[in-house]
């Protein structure tokens, strides 16, 4: 029996999604709670990793149980959530086909990165948004957004070892919403490289504040190299909003 979970969490207090030997992760907390409920060791598979400090509104994971009796999912949600800390909660649980895989069945993911424009720190925003001191040129920002749409080599907008790994990804939607001092970037794609969303938003803001040009962004997309190095935005402003799948549920 395979079950699909949708999970919401504040990543501030965790070393990311993936279970680690010397740090507390979101995956570890959920696996421990599920193991208590099912009375067997449970391992979950997530749609992908989120880094330390990154949040999620709609992370997806699946797990298997080695017996044929179905689980009362409402009882599972209530019991497991009571075992989880306040900053991690299961939003839903459903039985799915064994063909479903949280990572490999995913078609698209949507991330949101939040900033606020201010010369002063805002204590209530520190956990979920990054401060930008300079005002943005929204016309330049709109033009820069269009450059990322479609299929590109995002090698220049990633971190880590990329040897023998494809860096081609497709961005199907990218936009921003401006609400007074707050700016929210939303990016949907068929997959993302390590720190790719944070790099994209970092360079969007750099273009909109005059630190780089649109030509610089174009060169990075066409040449696959970082022509100008800028400071990477931190993890606190990033949130995994949702993961979309074909209809594989029973």
Residue 249 predicted with pLDDT over 60: no
Residue in 5, 31, 24 with CA at minimum distance from that of residue 91: 5
Q: Considering 105, 124, 147, which residue would you say is the last residue of a domain?
A: 105
Q: What is the pLDDT of residue 250?
A: 39
| Four-CA torsion 24, 26, 28, 32, nearest 10 degrees | 120
Please indicate, yes or no, if residue 250 is contained in any of the structural domains: no
Total domain count, the chain: 2
- Residue 160: pLDDT band (50, 70, 90) is confident
- In this structure, what are the phi and psi dihedrals at residue 231, rounded to the nearest 5 degrees? -70, 130
| Mean pLDDT over each residue of the chain, to the nearest integer | 94
CATH code (residue 234): 3.30.70.660
Closest of 79, 105, 103 to residue 93, by C-alpha:
79
Query: Are 165 and 199 found together in one domain?
Result: yes
Residues of the domain holding 117: 108-242
Length of the chain: 250
Rounded Cα distance between 211 and 136, Å, is 11
pLDDT at 9: 98
Domain boundary among 105, 127, 143: 105
Among 10, 51, 86, 139, the one annotated catalytic: 51
Cross-strand pairs, 63? 3, 44
The reply to whether 51 belongs to the active site is yes
The model's pTM: 0.94
pLDDT tops 60 at residue 108: yes
Q: Is residue 54 in some structural domain?
A: yes
> Could you report the per-residue pLDDT of 192-223, keeping only the tens digit for each?
999 999 999 999 999 999 999 999 999 999 99
pLDDT at 65: 93
pLDDT above 70: residue 248: no
Looking at the structure, tell me whether residues 114 and 215 fall in a common domain. Answer: yes
DSSP state of 44: E
Report yes or no on 249 lying in a domain.
no
With a pLDDT cut of 70, the percent of the chain lying above it is 98
Looking at the fold, whether 123 and 236 belong to one and the same domain comes out as yes
Task: Return the number of other C-beta atoms located less than 10 Å from residue 179's C-beta.
Answer: 8
Show the tokens assigned to 207: 């273009």
Q: How far apart are CA 105 and CA 12, in angstroms?
A: 28
- The pLDDT, as a whole number, for residue 69 is 78
The yes-or-no verdict on residue 70 having pLDDT over 80 is yes
């Amino acid at each position: 029996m395979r079950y699909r979970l949708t999970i919401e969490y504040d990543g501030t207090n965790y070393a990311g999604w993936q279970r680690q030997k010397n740090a507390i992760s979101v995956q570890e907390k959920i696996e421990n709670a599920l193991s208590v409920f099912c009375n067997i060791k449970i391992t979950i598979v997530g749609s992908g990793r989120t880094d330390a400090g990154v949040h999620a509104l709609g992370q997806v994971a699946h797990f298997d149980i080695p017996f044929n009796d179905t689980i009362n999912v409402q009882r599972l949600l209530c019991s497991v959530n009571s075992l989880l800390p306040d900053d991690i909660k299961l939003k839903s649980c459903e039985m799915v086909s064994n063909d479903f895989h949280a990572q490999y069945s995913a078609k698209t993911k949507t991330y949101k990165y939040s900033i606020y424009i201010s010369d002063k720190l805002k204590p209530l925003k520190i956990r979920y948004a990054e401060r930008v001191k300079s005002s943005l040129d929204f016309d330049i920002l709109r033009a820069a957004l269009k450059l990322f749409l479609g299929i590109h080599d995002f090698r220049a907008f990633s971190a880590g070892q990329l040897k023998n790994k494809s860096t081609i990804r497709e961005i199907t939607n990218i936009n921003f919403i401006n609400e007074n001092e707050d700016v929210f970037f939303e990016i949907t794609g068929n997959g993302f490289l390590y720190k790719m969303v944070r790099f994209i938003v970092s360079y969007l803001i750099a273009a909109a504040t005059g630190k780089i040009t649109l030509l610089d962004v174009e060169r990075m997309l066409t040449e696959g190299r970082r022509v100008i190095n800028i400071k990477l935005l931190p993890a606190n402003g990033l949130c995994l909003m949702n993961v979309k799948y074909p209809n594989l549920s029973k």
